[in-house]
Amino acid sequence: MHTLQEVNVRLAFTVSHKRRLIIVEHAVAQMQFYAQRRWWQCEAGGALLGRHLLDSNDIVVDEVTTPQHGDRRSRFGFFRSQRHGEIARARWAEEQMTVAYLGLWHTHPEPCPTPSNTDKRDWEKTVSADMFEGDRLFFPIVGTTLIRVWCLSRRGFMRELREVSDNA
């Protein structure tokens, strides 16, 4: 696993036997910027935007939305405003419908982040209510040391993704 001190690192996780989730360097850096390393820093989050690659079946997170005006943030809580969805729809239109909504990310003030029951309920609501391509959404949690990722399928199956050691 990569620690947050590593810079310009893309992350790759196994989704299935023939599919990976790849988070590009820029998106990793944007999420890491909001890691709650100080006692006074509030949770942050946003949406994952990217592509489903047809030639490899991989899913690539090219960009993330970052905290927006209207988000509600506290040390142990984050409420995402509608602005993130507006940004996602605008990017989809700007890129001729090639930018996909892939999930949601947020921070936790702990080294090895674990989803709370509130997180899990939010993810279930998101998968059932949001429109998205594919059969699952992804949910990275940025801790003070590690980034861990979970996925939730339309059928309600949730699991943590395993990081691929060779993410070249």
**Average pLDDT estimate for 4-23:** 80
Sequence-distant (≥ 6) Cβ neighbours of residue 152 within 8 angstroms: 123, 124, 126, 127, 136, 137, 139, 158
Task: State residue 98's pLDDT score.
Answer: 82
> 3-state class of 99 per DSSP?
coil
Q: 8 pLDDT band (50/70/90 cuts)?
A: low
pLDDT at 167 over 80: no
Q: Give 80-126 pLDDT, tens digit per residue.
A: 889 898 998 898 888 878 899 999 999 999 999 999 999 999 999 99
pTM: 0.90
* CA-based nearest residue to 33, from 138, 113, 142: 142
